[in-house]
């Protein structure tokens, strides 16, 4: 019996996905959101492995909850106690799990540009749970889902993404999907956190302009990806690019505050704003479960 599975339903990124494909995932997530009290037997014969080669709280547990809600068998791979510590490569690790009959792999890796290579060497669908500064497709999908719930439609929204654009896979996945869905994306970032390669897709605006958007999406300063000298101090960053309580007062009344989390409170966003009425930060986390159920279901349609 061959254990080789189709991988046509992989989700490596959102760049290139049509508005129809994106809408179909969001619609299916809405279906699953209405069934949050059920655990289904449909996928009880399916094995899903969560392979996180980089730390995570939200994405890893949200995938695990989604898998369990779908009734699938969950295999959690722990890089720290695995043969990665003996020098086994990411590709050989994924091939090993594939050889055991895993149906879908959820994968987060540190290096940018490696995921495509991994995907080309295995035959099971892979779902990108964040690769370097390249893409974080399920984060952007849950962000879009949250915006659609709040505003009814994504088309016509202006979305400001503020902060460490250069190192942000969240910014990239949101940029591709939001543009495809008819939103206008603009960036605001210190010069050394701007990504020149993206400037043809989104203009850089001042903090004052950024605050006039329908969606103000703050990004975490990703110190773990910085070269030395990029970040001088938390106080200076907050002063120039933080969403302070005073700055939030300039926002439109209907506008929402988003953040993928984890949050550096009082650096990129002031502590009282995290749980404020216009903040969707914890709603985004909740929406991650039905969105990931939809993405896993799509991967299992093989």
Q: Does 302 bind ligand CP (CB under 6 A)?
A: no
| Neighbour tally for 120: CB within 10 Å | 9
Which listed range, 158-166, 194-202, 225-233, 254-262, lies at the site for ligand CP (CB under 6 A)?
Answer: 254-262
The 3-state DSSP class for residue 203 equals: strand
- Binding segment (CB under 6 A) for ligand CP, from list 51-59, 80-88, 97-105, 270-278: 51-59
Place of tokens 């993405």: 295
76 contacts ligand CP (rule: CB under 6 A): no
Alpha carbons 89 and 58: distance in angstroms, whole number: 25
Query: Least distance in Å: CB of 249 to ligand CP?
Result: 27
Choosing from 44, 57, 83, 236, the residue that interacts with ligand CP (CB under 6 A) is 57
How many CB atoms are located within 10 Å of the residue 45 CB? Answer: 10
Residue 139 touches ligand CP, criterion: CB under 6 A: yes
| Per CB under 6 A, 168 contacts ligand CP | no
Q: Contact region for ligand CP (CB under 6 A) — 56-64, 112-120, 147-155, 195-203? A: 56-64
Stretch 258-287: interaction string toward ligand CP, x if CB under 6 A: --xxx-------------------------
- Is there binding between residue 160 and ligand CP (CB under 6 A)? no
Q: How many CB atoms lie within 10 A of CB 98?
A: 21
Beta-bridge mates of residue 78 = 52
Nearer to ligand CP, 261 or 302 (CB): 261
Is residue 130 a contact residue for ligand CP (CB under 6 A)? yes
Dihedral of the CA atoms 166, 170, 174, 176 (nearest 10)?
60
Q: Does 225 bind ligand CP (CB under 6 A)?
A: no
Q: Under the criterion CB under 6 A, does residue 110 sit at the interface with ligand CP? A: no
Q: Note whether 224 binds ligand CP by CB under 6 A.
A: no
Nearest to 101 by CA among 85, 124, 80: 124
Q: What b/e sequence results for 35-44 when a residue is b if at least 16 CB atoms lie within 10 Å of its CB, and e otherwise?
A: eeeeeeeebe
Q: Any residues with CB less than 8 A from the CB of 29 and at least 6 apart, and which?
A: 141, 145, 287, 290, 291, 293, 294
Phi, psi of 266 (to 5 degrees): 70, 15
DSSP class of 129: E
Nearer to ligand CP, 58 or 179 (CB): 58
Q: Which is nearer to ligand CP, 75 or 263 (CB)?
A: 263
Residue 104 is inside which H or E element, if any? strand 104-109
Residues 6 or more apart whose Cβ sits within 8 Å of residue 294: 25, 26, 28, 29, 31, 32, 141
Q: How far is the CB of 136 from ligand CP (least distance, A)?
A: 6
Which CB atom, from 50 or from 139, has the smaller least distance to ligand CP? Answer: 139
163 contacts ligand CP (rule: CB under 6 A): no
- Which residues, 185 to 214, sit near ligand CP by CB under 6 A? none
Query: How many residues lie near ligand CP (CB under 6 A)?
Result: 9
Query: From the CB of 253, what's the least distance to ligand CP, in Å?
Result: 27
59 binds ligand CP (CB under 6 A): yes
Instruction: List residues binding ligand CP (CB under 6 A).
Output: 56-59, 130, 139, 260-262
């Amino acid at each position: 019996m061959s254990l080789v599975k189709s991988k046509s339903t992989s989700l490596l990124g959102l760049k290139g996905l049509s508005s129809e494909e994106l809408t179909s995932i969001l619609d299916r997530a809405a279906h699953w959101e209405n069934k949050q009290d059920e655990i289904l037997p449909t996928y009880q014969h399916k094995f899903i492995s969560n392979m996180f080669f980089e730390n995570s709280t939200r994405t890893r547990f949200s995938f695990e909850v989604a898998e369990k809600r779908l009734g699938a068998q969950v295999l959690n791979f722990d890089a720290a106690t695995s043969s990665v510590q003996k020098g086994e490569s990411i590709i050989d690790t994924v091939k090993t799990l594939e050889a055991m009959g895993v149906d879908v792999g959820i994968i987060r890796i540190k290096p940018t540009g490696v995921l495509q290579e991994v995907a080309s060497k295995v035959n099971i669908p892979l779902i990108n749970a964040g690769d370097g500064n390249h893409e974080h497709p399920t984060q952007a999908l849950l962000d879009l889902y949250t915006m659609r719930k709040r505003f009814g439609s994504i088309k016509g929204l202006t979305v400001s993404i503020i902060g460490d654009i250069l190192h942000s896979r969240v910014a990239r996945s949101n940029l591709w999907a939001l543009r495809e869905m008819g939103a206008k994306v603009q960036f605001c970032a210190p010069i050394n956190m701007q990504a020149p390669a993206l400037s043809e897709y989104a203009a850089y605006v001042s903090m004052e302009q950024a605050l006039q958007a329908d969606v103000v999406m703050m990004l975490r300063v990703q110190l773990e990806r910085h070269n030395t000298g990029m970040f001088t101090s938390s106080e200076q960053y907050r002063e120039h690019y933080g969403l302070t309580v005073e700055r939030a007062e300039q926002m439109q009344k209907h506008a929402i505050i988003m953040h993928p989390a984890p949050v550096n409170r009082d650096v990129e966003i002031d502590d009282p704003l995290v749980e404020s009425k216009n903040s969707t930060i914890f709603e985004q986390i909740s929406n991650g479960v039905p969105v990931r159920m939809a993405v896993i279901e799509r991967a299992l349609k093989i």
